[in-house]
Amino acid sequence: MPAYLMANTSSTDLPNPFTPLAFISPALASEFEVSRYLFAATLGAYLWDIRLNLGNDCTLLFKHRIRFPTIVYFFSRPRSITLIFIVGCFGLQVAPVANCNPVALAWSICAVLSQTSTALLFFLRVTAVWYPNKIAYAVFSILWMAILGAGITVLLGISAAHIGPTMQCIIGAPPAKSEFTVIVPLINDTAVFLAINYRILAHTIVVDSSMARLRVFLGGKGLSTLSQALLRSGQHFYL
Q: Model confidence over 120-132: pLDDT tens digits?
A: 999 999 999 999 9
Domain assignment present for residue 8? The answer is: no
pLDDT of residue 77: 57
Q: Would the pTM of this model clear 0.85, i.e. be above it? A: no
Secondary structure element (H or E) that encloses residue 32, with its range: helix 26-62
Give the domain range for residue 137: 20-176
Do the beta carbons of residue 126 and residue 198 sit within 8 Å? no
At 6 the pLDDT is 47
Whether 236 is covered by a domain: the verdict is: no
Q: How many domains does the chain have?
A: 1
- Check if the beta carbon of residue 175 is closer than 8 Å to that of residue 157: yes
β partners of residue 24: 5
Residue 25 within any structural domain of the chain? yes
Q: What is the pLDDT of residue 133?
A: 94
Structural domain contains residue 239: no
Residue ranges in the chain modelled with pLDDT below 70: 1-18, 77-81, 204-209, 220-222
> CB–CB of 143/183 below 8 Å?
no
The span from the first CA to the last CA of the chain, in angstroms, equals: 40
Of the chain, the percentage scoring pLDDT greater than 70 comes to: 86
Give domain status of residue 226, yes or no: no
